[in-house]
Each structure stands twice: as C-alpha cells, then as structure tokens.
C-alpha cells in the first residue's frame, strides 16, 4: 500500500457510523424529486430538498429540457469561451440580468463554480475579501483561491464587520461577500447594515442569492430586492439548483464587471458549458416563477404555518424567517440518531454537523417546497416530536 492509500485508509468515521446504523448520507432516490420520494424501496416525505418552488418535476420544465436535448444534443463538448456558447445561454443571461435588476449576467456550470471563479478572479494580493463567518463553502474557497487578504466577521454582527473594515488599508479594494439567506440557519443577511458601511469604507458588496432567488422579494427576485437595495449591491450571484430546478449558476453585475469575469474566471474558461437541458430547464422554471406568483404565496403560507407550529411545540429554531428551518440538537450523535429514526418513520431531513456548523450548533435542516401540504407538515411534525422526546431533546 502506498503512502496516499495508507493515509486514506486511516479515515474510518463513515464505516463506524455505518456499523452503528447512524450513517445518513448517500441514500439513493429512485423517483422524481418531489414532496414524496422513493428511497430504499419505500415512500418517504421529503423535507430535505432545496427545490423551494417545487418545479423539478413540472411538465413545462421537463418539456423544455427534452426539447433542448432534441435541438442541441446532450452537451456542448467545450467551454463557453470556445465552442460551447449556445444562443439559449446568451438569451438566458439577458433574462437573468433583467430579473435581478443588473446590466448583464454570465452563466456558469454550477453554483459552486460561480462563487469560486468570480471571487478568485476579481480580487488580488493587495485586496481584501471580507466574509460572514457562516458564508457558504464556495465563498470560502473562492476567497482562498483569490490570493486576497482574507477577513471575516461574526455572523450578522455589523459592529464586528465595521471593526474588520477598520483593519483594512483605506485605499485598498475591499469586497464584502455574504449569503443573502444562510443555507443552514435560514436567517437573512443584515443587508441594510452592510450597505450602510459601503460608502464609509469605500467597499463593494457581493450577495449570494442561492437560497433567496425564487423565495424572497418581488416575484422571487431575491434578498437584495426584498430590502430594496439592488442598486447598492455590486454583484448578485444565483444558482439554478434550488428554485430553478436544474444545475448551474450565474453572476449579475454591471457590464464592466461581467466583461472582466467572462475573460478572467478560470472556472468559466476551463469548464465545459452548462448543458442545453439544464439551461432550458432553469429558463422554463424562471418563467413559471414570473408567471405564477401564487406559488410564492403558497410557499410563504406553508412557511409561516410550520414556523408557528415548531415554536408552539418548543423546538429551538434560532432566527430563521425563511422556508429553511433549523431544528437545533447541539449534539453530533443525537443529530445522526434523530435523522435515522425519522427516516425509519418515513421522513427525510438533512443532518448538519461540522464543518457546516460548529460542534455546539448541530441541527437537522427542515426545508419546505411550495408543493408541500399542511397535512404533510403535520405528519412530519408529529414524527419529529416523537423522535426528539425519545432522545431527550424536547421536553
């Protein structure tokens, strides 16, 4: 056995979890992503999906993907930079820019690549990238690749952010990057507080709308729109893998920023372009979101219903105000135990443990789709109460 294999062979945590019956990952789904899915041969309620609008199995989205494959084939066989730009890529970029209120947009093949490629190409060695301590891993990795000076501030703490900005060289280029909706905790960034510091410290702002697009603001235009601060935010990032029912991502900004990213981002230049099917599916999903505002109304009706239920039942849910509802457990082993017990009861949720959170903040992530029913929420809530009480988490 070589040294690399020896090192990897020492990593046995997954096997230990499997032996104890607590390993919750890589469960196979053999049906469409919906409020109910088939896992391990049986139906379970899905409360672990990011498909907030419930569009992954919408007939118009599926039809758009099929039509795109029939017209363009299954892939582009190259990067956008060379032979991989389709007319639908350019058309969708224009639609995305208009939707989020910016001059131009650029599509990447995944949301992770979007943050990675944008932050790393915009910021250099003499610059600063400043992040909330709970920002998504793709933002963290983009900051690492940029060679910029990395700084972070306490979660949603504007006083901490200001102290961090005061450590920067006054004339330096400073980019504050923040999740609009935090993906595990479900709370909103204090965007008004961040914007209030923008001119004072001469910095730029980038907002990751991965979990805000389709959910927050007018017709789901995102957190920037929700706060009425689109014009104060320099760069808006979004992904197709949540509300837009596909895979891919985009950056929207002024034409000069997009021009720079288009010609410098390594994850854009050196990756195959987004597939015809994914692009067409996301485009169809965006059109449905614009045409059917009742979907967003339905999602918020369900969200408020679930939030009220969890609070009344005594669950600790933190400061969430979105369809992402964290149910705090604060114990890694109990988090795994609850997840597996719920699965046996027919409810799928996601466990959140380090490095996605601190060891003292472990939780299960209960997320809603516009296509859920209140009856499904009630069933899941009943099972959650049972499991939490059996493990001594809920009194």
Residues recognised as catalytic: 183, 211, 242
The set of residues, in sequence order, having a beta carbon less than 8 Å from that of 357 and lying 6+ positions away, is: 184, 363
For tokens 């010609």, name the residue.
Answer: 263
Q: How far apart are CA 305 and CA 301, in angstroms?
A: 6
Helix (H/G/I), strand (E/B), else coil: 364:
strand
DSSP 53-93: T--TT-HHHHHHHHHHHHHH-S--SSBTTTT---HHHHHHH
Q: How far apart are CA 72 and CA 92, in angstroms?
A: 15
Under 8 Å between Cβ of 130 and 143: no
For tokens 């380090």, name the residue.
Answer: 354
Under 8 Å between Cβ of 21 and 325: no
Query: Which tokens belong to 372?
Result: 């859920």
Under 8 Å between Cβ of 38 and 31: yes
- Closest Cα partner for 164 from 135, 199, 201? 201
Q: How far apart are CA 106 and CA 114, in angstroms?
A: 9
């Amino acid at each position: 056995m070589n040294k690399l294999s020896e090192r990897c062979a020492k990593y046995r945590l997954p096997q230990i979890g499997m032996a104890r019956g607590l390993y919750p990952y890589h469960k196979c789904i053999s049906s469409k992503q919906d409020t109910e899915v088939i896992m391990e041969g049986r139906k379970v309620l899905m409360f672990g999906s990011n498909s907030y609008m419930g569009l992954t199995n919408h007939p118009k989205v599926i039809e758009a993907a099929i039509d795109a494959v029939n017209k363009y084939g299954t892939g582009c066989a190259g990067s956008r930079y060379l032979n991989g730009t389709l007319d639908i890529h350019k058309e969708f970029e224009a639609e995305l820019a208009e939707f989020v209120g910016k001059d131009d947009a650029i599509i990447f093949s995944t949301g992770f690549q979007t943050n990675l490629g944008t932050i790393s190409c915009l910021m250099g060695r003499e610059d600063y990238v400043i992040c909330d301590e709970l920002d998504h891993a793709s933002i963290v990795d983009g900051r690492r690749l940029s060679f910029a000076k990395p700084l972070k501030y306490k979660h949603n703490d504007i006083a901490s952010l200001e102290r961090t900005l005061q450590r920067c060289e006054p004339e330096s280029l400073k980019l504050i990057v923040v999740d609009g909706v935090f993906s595990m905790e479900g709370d909103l960034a204090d965007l008004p507080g961040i914007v209030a510091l923008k001119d004072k410290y001469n910095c730029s702002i980038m907002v990751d709308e991965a979990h805000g697009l389709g959910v927050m603001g007018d017709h789901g235009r995102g957190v920037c729109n929700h706060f009425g601060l689109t014009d104060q935010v320099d760069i808006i990032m979004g992904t197709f893998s949540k509300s837009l029912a596909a895979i891919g991502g985009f950056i929207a900004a002024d034409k000069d920023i997009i021009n720079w990213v288009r010609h410098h981002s390594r994850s854009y230049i050196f990756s195959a372009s987004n597939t015809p099917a994914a692009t067409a599916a996301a485009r169809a999903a965006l059109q449905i979101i614009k045409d059917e505002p009742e979907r967003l109304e339905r999602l918020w009706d369900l969200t408020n219903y679930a939030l009220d239920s969890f609070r009344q039942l005594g669950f600790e849910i933190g400061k969430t105000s979105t369809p992402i509802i964290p149910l705090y457990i604060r114990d890694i082993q109990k988090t795994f135990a609850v997840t597996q017990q719920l699965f046996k009861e027919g409810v799928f949720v996601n466990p959140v443990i380090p490095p996605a959170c601190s060891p003292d903040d472990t939780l299960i992530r209960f997320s809603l789709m516009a296509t859920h029913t209140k009856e499904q929420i009630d069933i899941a809530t009943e099972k959650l109460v049972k499991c939490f009480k059996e493990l001594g988490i809920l009194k």
